[in-house]
Structures are given as C-alpha cells and as structure tokens.
Structure 1
Amino acid sequence: MKRTTTPDLDFIGCEAAGTIPGLLTCRAERSPNAVAYSEFEDGTWRDVTWSEMERIVARYRVALDQAGMEEGDRVAILLRNCIDWIAFDIAAMANGLMTVPLYLQDSEANIDFILSNCGVRLCLVESVQRLEALKPALESSGALRQIWVRGNGEVHEQVRGRKVHRLGEVLDLAEGDAGPIRCAPKDIATIIHTSGTTGRPKGAMLSNFALLWDAEAVAVNIPPLTNDVFLSLLPLSHAFERTMSYHLAMMGGSRVVFARAIETLKEDISEVRPTILVAVPRLYERFYEAIVQEASESPLKSWLVRMTVAIGWRRFEASRGRGNMFSQMPGLLFWPLLERLVARPILQAFGGRLRVAASGGAQLSTEVSQFLIGVGLPLVEGYGLTEAAPVVSGTTFEDNLPGSAGKPLRGIETRFTAEGELLIRSPSLMQGYWNDPKGTSSAIDEEGWLHSGDTAEFREDHLFITGRLKDVIVLSTGKKAAAPEIEAAIEADPLFEQCCPIGNNRPFVSAILVLNRDHWAGYAERQGLDPDFPNAQAANAAIMARLAQLLRDQPEYVQIRAVHTQVQPWTVEDGTLTPTLKIKRYVIEERYRNEIEALYAQQSSRRSSDG
C-alpha cells in the first residue's frame, strides 16, 4: 500500500518497514510526537509517543546485550499487555533474538514445557507474585539463565542459579548505543505456541515478513487510521491481538490503549471510547446476554429490543443488496424512534464511537451476530490460525454474512481435501514448528499447503468453517457428529456455560456440562429443584428435556443421551482450558473418565432391562 496524503491515513507497508523493529523506526520518523500507547499507572493514564517508544526500545536493546544475549537466543515474555511488552519484543527482535510470548494465566505445566522446549535463556516476568508461583517451572528450565521482574516487591538475587533482576534496575544501567538493527525480513521474529487443545502446544516459527505481510493484508479490509484508538484487551500472546493491536496499529500510526483488566472493562470502554475493539466471541456474547437479560425485565422493553433488531437487520440486508427494505415500510417508519431509544444506548455501552468491532479466535453465533449488527454495531468476523500469522479470511461491514468467516485475504490461496479439510497457501505461513520436524512435515505438505485441521466450505463466495477433523465424534455405529456444532447449539442457552460432547467409539453422544451458576439457581427454583444437586434424577430429567429442545433440529444420532453436570467452571488455571479459552477435550475426557464410564454403563443397563 502506497503512502497517501489523506490526513487520517498514513500507512507504512511491509516492504517499507522490512522488519518489525524497522516498522517502529519508520513510524517514529513519521509521527514522532503522536501518542503511540497509553497504560494505566499509579491511578492515571500514562501516554508514550512514538519517539519516546523508540528510545525505550533502544534502552531495552542495550540491556539485552549487557545480559549476554546472543543472536538466535530465545527470550520469553510473561507480562500483561503493557508498553514494556511491546518494547521488550521489538528490542529482542532488533538484536536478532527470538521472542517466546507466554500467557500470563497459563498453567505451570504449559509454561514449563514451552520454556524447556524453546531453550529460553531469559524471561521477563510480570511480578514478584507471578515469579513465586512459577518457581518450579523456571527452575526446571535448563537453558534459563536470567529472570527480569517487573513491578514492586522484594526479589531474591537467584532462583536455583538463575540470576533475578528487577526490571527498573536493569534498564537504569542500560546506557550506550545498541547499533543498527540486526534482523532481516525472513529471520524468525517470534515463536508463538498453539493453544494445544489436543495435546502439547506447538511453537510456530514466524518471520518478520510473515507477520507484516499478514497485517498489511488485513489492512485492505480494515485500514488503520492515525486518529483510531485501539483498546487492547486480548493477551498480546494471542496471535490475533498481536496482529491487530500491535502490528496493524503501528502500521497506521494509531493509538493503542491497554485495558486494565476484564473487571474494569466497562469503565475502560467508557473512558477510552475506542474506535476499534478486538475481542473473542465470548465478550460479544456477554454483551448480548446482558442486553437481553435487562430487556426481559419488562415486556415493553423486550418488544422494543426485538423490533429494533428485526428492523435494523432488514435495513442492513437491504443496504447490502440482499433484501427489499421497502417491503417492510410500516416497521421502517418506527426506525428513527427505535434508533434513538434502543440502538443508540446499546452502542454507548461500546463507547459510542466504534467504527470496527472485530471478532476472532472462534466462531460467533449467527444469532448474536445478527443481533449486534441489527442494533448498528460495525461488527466484522474472521478466521485464522497461528501457523498463518494468523488471519486467513475476514468479512467487511460492507460484505458481512453472519456465520461466515468472510473471504480469504488478498494473496491467500485456499483449497479442500476429499475430507473437506481446508488447505491454505500464503506468504504469511510459518517456517515450521520449533524443534518438531515431524509436526512441521505433517502440517505443511511438499507443495507448501498448510493443513488447517478445520473442515470448511464456500457458500455465496464466503468461507464457512464447519468443524475440526479431530473434533468429529465417530460413534461406534459409524455415524459422525460435529462436536463444535453441538457445543454451539447448547451454549447458545445461557443456562449452559460450557459443554464438552463425548462419544468417540461409543454408541451415542453424551456430554459433560457446566451450568451458569446464576441462571441455574433461578431455573432450579422455578422448577422446584435443589440447585446443590444438578445430577439428581429430577434435575437430570429437566436438563435432558432442555437439551432435547436445543438439539431438536439435529439428526437423531446427534441427540445427547446422557449428561454429567456441574456448576464449577473450567478454567485455564485448572488445566481444562487453553489460554485462548478453548476446552482441552483430552484433559476433560481423562479427568471425568469415571463419570463418563458411569454414564454409558447406566444407559447400557437401562437398555438391557428394557429389553
């Protein structure tokens, strides 16, 4: 993309930047005094300009040299989203190092594996408290030599021979000139690990070029403007957030504000009033659920919301040439009133000035998507995977088909195997998995096609992801059921927080369910059930009846025949969720092995007695 004279568009493309450190250099030259980043510190928002950011990175580069890091070494980042995360990442790449981002709330076992697998030599840790919690993992990593700790609190000088330094002191001693950038476009910039839903995470090796090429391809759909404000909410360890709120924002000279925490999200949105919000489907679903719940308290409110969504959706479809707006003229006459009374207050909950609300990381339900678009949210969706750096396809607000993953980005090729698996060929593909040649050859074939593991199809020129090959439940009868479709249908009901369908090599589908504590308490009271015993016979019967309604449009063999239920949610910390909040099926099946066996034994016994 060429530089334009449009006041709000000052884009730096992949070729001009060369590398991610080169991108910062270009941006600091063009926009030295513009605010680059804002973070909440000591009770106020701290702003850093692009020229200040460049100086911070230079200090980090000297500090890494003084720590003895050499080209090709791996260094890890275990921080919340902040200015230091970006600065450390760019400085390490500029010195020819490879960064290994870690999820702040990831399990000790995962962190231990990643540090050891990558041979990390230095790790930047968020706080003394996080350091203490991770000592066993840090101590077992043989290559680790130094630990830098951000934040306050007393630190010990060593952790089993690993030198521990406070970050502030390290940077205070970093004086001098780090010299020219020591990385090239095709050099590996970072090793980002997959979420590991079916086993150990794999480290995708991504070059500077791959990351920048993908961000530039995204910019065709979502051009970042100099007056844009990104609210950075997802962890920067997540490849989607990294591309959107880091690389894309820097290419466009946009300001990035780091959200404080999920608990203060409502307050942050109100204060920051972002123009671009990047989130996973669950955030949008929570907004949707809150709106519906509040409206349900009044029949009039509920009717007004339904009417607003219905008319708003028809207006959207007609404006895209997919419907006749004038066939619903009586309803359309109410739109100005509904827009003022209903739609506008809902959009204010998102800050009131969003021009892009991007959803990625998983599929957003069609119901939620149509609802939010109906009230006027500028929602776009996409599909990607870490191995592709990561965005592969996306919708635009002008060409949005809810339920779809949009169209492949410019320059990305797709095709399908006989089994319906999506194959991808793109300049942004990884160079392979770190320390895993067998896994690399399985993922990328000799013709350069990445095997995504996802099944998909094109409808109306839009890509639809239909499931994962490994998520297909193959029953002992030979019938096949798509676990993600079952999950989506069940989790659309607010009573069910989480769902893991079971059934491989079994005669029927069962499920382990997590109930939403608040919704379950209310439902149990209305049904005369004891909320403390969700697996009691009466409670089980009520839940099974509700599941039958949710899956009524599915084939007979997809119906849930038995469930084990609980109210304690699965979490990243207990090892049942990946850092991107996907369930780890293999962990859940192993953890609930006895309960699962009991479910099938009970059903077998019933069939025998019936016979």
Structure 2
Amino acid sequence: MRELEVPRLARPLASGGLADSVFTAALEEPRRVQFEEAVAGSAAGSARRPVTAARFAADVAAVARGFLADGIRPGHRVVVMSRTRYEWTLVAYALWAVGAVVVPVYPTSSAEQVRWILRGTGAVGVVVEDDHTAMTVAAAYGARTDLTRLWQLDAGGIDTLVEAGAAVEEVHVHQLRAGVRPHDTAVICYTSGTTGRPKGCVITHHNLAAETDNLLAGWGELLAPPGERPSLLAFLPLAHCYGLMVVVSAVRGGVTVAHQPDLSPGALLPALAAFRPTFLFAVPYIFERILGSARAAAQSGGHSALFERAARTAVRYAAQAQRHAAGQGPGPGARLRLRHAVYDRLVYAKVREVFGGRMRSAVSGGSPLSRDLGLFFAGCGITVYDGYGLTETTAAVTAQPVGAVRHGTVGRPLPGNAVRIADDGEIQVRGDVVFAGYLDDPQANAAAVRDGWFATGDLGRFDPDGYLVITGRKKDIIITSGGKSVSPQVLEEELRAHPLISGCLVVGDNRPYVAALITLDPQALASWQILKGRPTTGPEAARDDDELRGHIQRAVSRANSRVSRAESIRAFRVLPREFATQQGLLTPSLKVRRSAVLRTYAKEIEELYASR
C-alpha cells in the first residue's frame, strides 16, 4: 500500500471564522461552563472560577473592542508571547473576531528569534505576559519593525484593553467578524526550527476548523464517559500548533478547559490530580515522566519489584488484547487476566489516579509514542491514541482509529485527508489540514508542495492494514564513512524507554561506526541510588559508576538487537546533564535540536571516537 485517503466526517467551514463558534455557544448554551480560570495567587489547580459560554463571549467582545480602539484592523498581525493561560485564549479569539491574525511566540524565545518573527510578519502589536517577555521584545525591537503597540498581561493589559474599548460599539466587532472568510489567515505559526531557521506557516480558519471538527466527529466519544461533562487540562504551549489545536477543539466542541502554564512534573501532576480531567492531549515526554514518577514512588515505598512485575503484565496483557482485536489471536488467557486484575487494584488504579482518576483515553502527539509505553498505559486502563502531524498540517494528519489502536503506529489519515509514501520513503500529505504555505517564501513553497501534495520530510511506511509507521526523518539520516545509512529513531526510542535514561542522540555522520550521547533522568537516578544504599548525586558525579554504566550498556545492547550490526551503537557517552530548552538543545515542544546538540557536545563526540 502506497496511498490512503479517508473521506470527511465534518463539512468544511462554509462561511465565517473561528470566533463565530464563541458567540453561537453564548446564544445556545449561555450557562455551559467553557473554562475553569485559575484564581490569581493560588497554588496549581487549587482554586479556579468558572467561565460560562456567555461570559467568555462577553470577554471576547470587550477585548476585541479594545483592540479596535487601539487601531488593530482586519489583516493586522499581532504577536502573542505568553505561557498557556486563559488570557492567551481570550486574546486569540478577540483578534479573530475583528479579522486580525495571531502570531504565537514562545515566551522562552530569544531576542534574536523574536526579532526574526517581528520582521518576517510585520506585526503591529504584541501581547506579552510579564516583565521578562516585555524586555525580550524591547531587546528585539528595531527600526525595521512595524511594532507600535504592546500590552502586558501581568500589568493589567486586559483591563487596559477593556477600558479603551468602552467607547467602541460592540456592533463594530460583529460587523468585522461577519467579514471574515474561511480561507483568511488565522495564525502564522512558526516551526520549531529543529533543522534550521523557523519558517512562518500560514494557517487559515478553514484549516483549524477542519482539523478540530473532524477530530470531534470521529473521536468525540472518547472525551468523557457517558453522562459526564467532558473536560481537559490544556498545558501544551499555545505557541505550538498542537497546543493551539487542543484549545480550539475544546471551544468548538463545548469541552470545559482549564489552562496550566507549567508543564514540569512538579506542577503538572498536582494540577491533574486537582482538576481531574476526563481527557488529555499530551506529548510522549509527559507519559514518560508520569511512568517515571510512578516507578520512583514504588521504589521509595519498597515496592520496586511489584511495580516492575505489574508493568510487564500490563504490556503483555495489552499486547495480547490488541492482537485479539485485530483478529490475530485469542487474547489474554485466564492466568494473565487474573494477574492483571490483581495488579489493577495494587498498581494500575494508582497510575490512573495520577491523571485524576476519571480519564480512560488520551492522545499523544508531537513525536511517535513508543510501543511499550502505549501498551503499558493501555494495560493500566488508559488508552493512548497516538497521532502524527506537523505545523504545516495544522497539527495531526493521522490518528489511531477509535477502538482499533495499534501501538507502534500513528494510525490512519484523519478524515478529509490523504497520505502517500513516495518512492524514497518520504511521507506526503494532501487535504483540508494542509497549510496555505510558508510566509513570503515562494522557494520553500515550491520545494514543499507539488501537485497539492505536501512533502513532510519524514520517512514512513504503511502496514498491511493501512496504519502509518514513522521510520525516521530524511534530514536525520546518518551516513557512516562506510556508506551505511542509519535512521537513529529506532535506537533513540529504545534507549529512552529505559527507566534511567531521559534523552539520547545517536551520532555517526562520516564516522566509522554509530555512537550515542545519553542523558540520565535525575529523579530515576536518585531513586536507584537510594535503592542501592548509595548517596544521591547528580548525573555528572554518577556517570562513572561502574554498575550504572553496566545498566546503560545492557540498554544499548537491547537497542542494538533491533538493528543490523552495521547500524548498532559501538560506543556511548553519558552526559553531565539533561538536554534542556534553556540551553537551546530542546525546542519548546521538547524535541531535540540535533544540530545544537552536535555543536554543544562536539568535544565529547570527538573523544568518543578518539578513545576507540
């Protein structure tokens, strides 16, 4: 199979734009709770106030009037540079209501990155969160930018807009909203820049509506158990297309949303437990950290062996259940079902409680979820539907079908889209979610889109049933000095699955063999050291521990068993610290910036090869 197309489940947006759904909901269900807004100064998830559909529409109209009073007009581009919070969503819908364009920017961006975006978009205004982001914009500001307005959320920016708009009649907002068309630009979303300068992706109201409406039509039944009001905790960065899609889906689907600005485990896990969402959109990193936290809690309580047995049982149980669902086996046997039931009371129920206890389904995106991780959570009673997409495809373009999950794949094309595999293995897509092009970059557009097909730069294949399997990225392919082509993804995913390993980068371009840079999970390392009766130290001090290196070597050997001898890792180096966004080694969506890691650790790589 080389090509697969799935028909639409939802009709394309016939008229208007994204803001229309806000005012429609206010008329049809004014009392429905659309958001749970955090109370200023409260601990994570400890105090929230409800925002009804009617109030949200009133807030959007009031802020939109303020933008009009400050000179924002249809087609104007406004940067939004803030963490994930209610005001971010409010500002976006207010801008869409007057026909303006949202330009999301990560609050962690450097002055140079902000300058690049300001110049590229010609943004006339910027909404920042705090003094830090305001100072970054000030440092980026220059004579060649069109920026003339700045609003700061933590300095009363919303109140300032509302006060300014008091003299503007609301009817002017609705007149401008009536002029918005489906194929008008809604967002200029910049790529994460893992392989070069970020490019501005032009995403239309039609693109976002097609993405969210087809997901709601096909997967809406997963959002909550029957009889419960669906709710989700939005913690992914709204500057990332995936995070933005999540919130737009919730608004269009009537899902109650709470915003969580900090996605570190120490802040996110208490927020999940307090809010108790019925559904979750996340990235593999979050599921990896939740598994790591559960493992560490078991170790600290002296139940490490019990947890590991339960984890193996969960994977085995879910794998056999998946094969049975595909008509390829009898399913879990009586003894396995009994063990699973026992571990459900002892272990799996506690894993579900980490998510708040109400959730039975979730979505993972951003990068492929490892098969064993997906099977573990399925065995715990939480089905994780993996998907695949890019900024250029308005987030997801494939997803696991409801009730037919196949872990280790990223599912089938979303309704309204087609996916094909080119002769060189590259994944190409066509359909409603494919963006309108790169901003002011005809050369990049010509290279990326041909005859309506967008070339993703990713490599993949279809399994016999039309499920897409991601095998790597064209630009990440390593070619050794012996001419062997190596896709690092399989090795890196296998190594990251080890409890002690948090990150991995496989190297070997123009080298005689493949090697790896490995980072340790500080929390898992500390738990291991306590278990061994050793003083807890950071990764830098522990990496020369012979027993620890033995664990890592066995993990490398297991990863090597999945590839040929020529592709296997012959040497590795444990790094002194994890890859981090602050170092520029991870994108804000937690993908490794390969070129940045290679530059930062060039000396260590040279030493790796010199030592052999």
Name the TM-score, length of structure 1 as normaliser.
0.88
RMSD over aligned CA atoms reads: 2.8
Q: Does 1:402 align with 2:425?
A: no
- Partners of 2:430 and 2:243 lie apart in 1 by 22
> How far does residue 388 in structure 1 lie from its aligned partner after superposition?
1.0
1:581/1:28 CA distance change after superposition, 3 Å: same
Instruction: Decide which moves more: 572-581 or 331-340.
Output: 331-340
- Partners of 2:306 and 2:595 lie apart in 1 by 46
Name the TM-score, length of structure 2 as normaliser.
0.87
What is the SS of the residue equivalent to 2:37? Answer: strand
Deviations 1:91-139 (A, max 9, x none): 2122222110011223333223222221211110011233235431245
2:504 to 481, 484, 499: 499
1:70/1:307 CA distance change after superposition, 3 Å: closer
1:510/1:201 CA distance change after superposition, 3 Å: same
What is the SS of the residue equivalent to 1:282? Answer: helix
1:325/1:513 CA distance change after superposition, 3 Å: closer
Structure 1 unaligned blocks of 5 or more: 1-10, 153-164, 604-611
1:524/1:596 CA distance change after superposition, 3 Å: farther
Q: Does 1:250 align with 2:251?
A: yes
Deviations 1:129-171 (A, max 9, x none): 332354312457622111100114xxxxxxxxxxxx8442232
1:332/1:601 CA distance change after superposition, 3 Å: closer
Aligned residue for 1:168?
Answer: 159
2:276 to 269, 273, 282: 273
Give 1:40's aligned amino acid.
A
Instruction: Indicate conservation of the 8 Å contact 1:12/1:23, yes or no.
Output: no
- Partners of 1:302 and 1:503 lie apart in 2 by 34
> How far does residue 275 in structure 1 lie from its aligned partner after superposition?
0.8
> How far does residue 191 in structure 1 lie from its aligned partner after superposition?
0.5
Instruction: Decide which moves more: 515-524 or 400-409.
Output: 515-524
Give 1:19's aligned amino acid.
G
Deviations 1:307-340 (A, max 9, x none): 45534553454355442137x1233345544433
> How far does residue 197 in structure 1 lie from its aligned partner after superposition?
0.5
1:112/1:498 CA distance change after superposition, 3 Å: farther
1:344/1:581 CA distance change after superposition, 3 Å: same
> How far does residue 22 in structure 1 lie from its aligned partner after superposition?
1.6
Instruction: Decide which moves more: 139-148 or 582-591.
Output: 139-148
Which structure carries more relative contact order (alpha carbon 8 Å, separation 6+)?
A: 2
Q: Does 1:206 align with 2:207?
A: no
Give 2:336's aligned amino acid.
G
Q: Does 1:509 align with 2:492?
A: no
Give 1:545's aligned amino acid.
Q
1:593 to 584, 594, 602: 602
Instruction: Indicate conservation of the 8 Å contact 1:120/1:144, yes or no.
Output: yes
Structure 2 unaligned blocks of 5 or more: 1-8
Q: Does 1:451 align with 2:444?
A: no
1:544/1:213 CA distance change after superposition, 3 Å: closer
Q: Does 1:194 align with 2:191?
A: yes
Give 1:89's aligned amino acid.
A
Aligned residue for 1:566?
Answer: 575
Q: Does 1:142 align with 2:145?
A: yes
What is the SS of the residue equivalent to 2:560? Answer: coil
Q: Does 1:377 align with 2:386?
A: no
Instruction: Indicate conservation of the 8 Å contact 2:80/2:128, yes or no.
Output: yes
- Partners of 1:472 and 1:14 lie apart in 2 by 38
Query: How many percent of aligned residue pairs carry the same amino acid?
Result: 28
Q: Does 1:365 align with 2:370?
A: yes
- Partners of 1:200 and 1:461 lie apart in 2 by 34
Deviations 1:566-610 (A, max 9, x none): 22222222211111111111112222233333333443xxxxxxx
Instruction: Indicate conservation of the 8 Å contact 2:540/2:575, yes or no.
Output: no
- Partners of 1:312 and 1:451 lie apart in 2 by 34
Aligned residue for 1:350?
Answer: 355
Instruction: Indicate conservation of the 8 Å contact 1:576/1:587, yes or no.
Output: yes
Aligned residue for 2:553?
Answer: 545
Deviations 1:543-563 (A, max 9, x none): 773454233312222222333
Instruction: Indicate conservation of the 8 Å contact 1:285/1:368, yes or no.
Output: yes
- Partners of 1:527 and 1:502 lie apart in 2 by 35
1:483/1:208 CA distance change after superposition, 3 Å: same
Question: What is the correspondence of 1:62-77 to structure 2 with a 5 Å cutoff?
Answer: 62-77=65-80
- Partners of 1:193 and 1:218 lie apart in 2 by 23
1:310 to 299, 305, 316: 316
Aligned residue for 1:123?
Answer: 126
2:57 to 54, 57, 70: 54
Deviations 1:200-237 (A, max 9, x none): 11111011011101112212331157821011111122
Give 1:91's aligned amino acid.
A
- Partners of 2:516 and 2:313 lie apart in 1 by 36
Aligned residue for 2:471?
Answer: 466
1:528/1:477 CA distance change after superposition, 3 Å: farther
> How far does residue 257 in structure 1 lie from its aligned partner after superposition?
1.1
Give 2:429's aligned amino acid.
I
- Partners of 1:598 and 1:18 lie apart in 2 by 59
- Partners of 2:367 and 2:12 lie apart in 1 by 27
What is the SS of the residue equivalent to 2:19? Answer: helix
Give 2:258's aligned amino acid.
V
- Partners of 2:99 and 2:570 lie apart in 1 by 56
Give 2:235's aligned amino acid.
L
- Partners of 1:111 and 1:541 lie apart in 2 by 42
Give 1:117's aligned amino acid.
G
Aligned residue for 1:237?
Answer: 239
Aligned residue for 2:6?
Answer: none
Instruction: Indicate conservation of the 8 Å contact 1:499/1:514, yes or no.
Output: yes
Deviations 1:447-498 (A, max 9, x none): 1100010101111321111110011101121101112222112211232222
Give 1:426's aligned amino acid.
G
Instruction: Indicate conservation of the 8 Å contact 1:99/1:190, yes or no.
Output: yes
Instruction: Indicate conservation of the 8 Å contact 2:105/2:114, yes or no.
Output: yes
Instruction: Indicate conservation of the 8 Å contact 2:480/2:512, yes or no.
Output: yes
